[in-house]
């Protein structure tokens, strides 16, 4: 018997709230983690892929 894993609904962070740790691949193919910037000021800017609506 197989069970489907329930997808956790994303929640909006509030100003000053700690973000959950995550990792992404940078433009050079290196993995960068949020934890790499602990105790540093960091601005994260997410944007849609170029030339896409949204």
pLDDT tens for residues 12-49?
A: 888 888 888 889 898 899 999 999 998 998 887 776 66
Is 54 a residue whose pLDDT tops 80? no
Which pLDDT band, with edges at 50, 70 and 90, does 50 fall under? low
- What is the secondary structure of 1-39 as a DSSP string? ---PPPPPPP-PPPTTPPPPP-EEE-TTS-EEEGGGGTT
């Amino acid at each position: 018997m197989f069970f489907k894993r329930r997808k956790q609904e994303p929640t909006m962070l509030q100003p000053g709230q700690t973000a959950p740790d995550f990792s992404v691949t940078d433009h050079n193919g290196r993995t960068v983690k949020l934890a790499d910037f602990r105790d540093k000021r960091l601005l994260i800017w997410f944007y849609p892929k170029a030339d896409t609506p949204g």
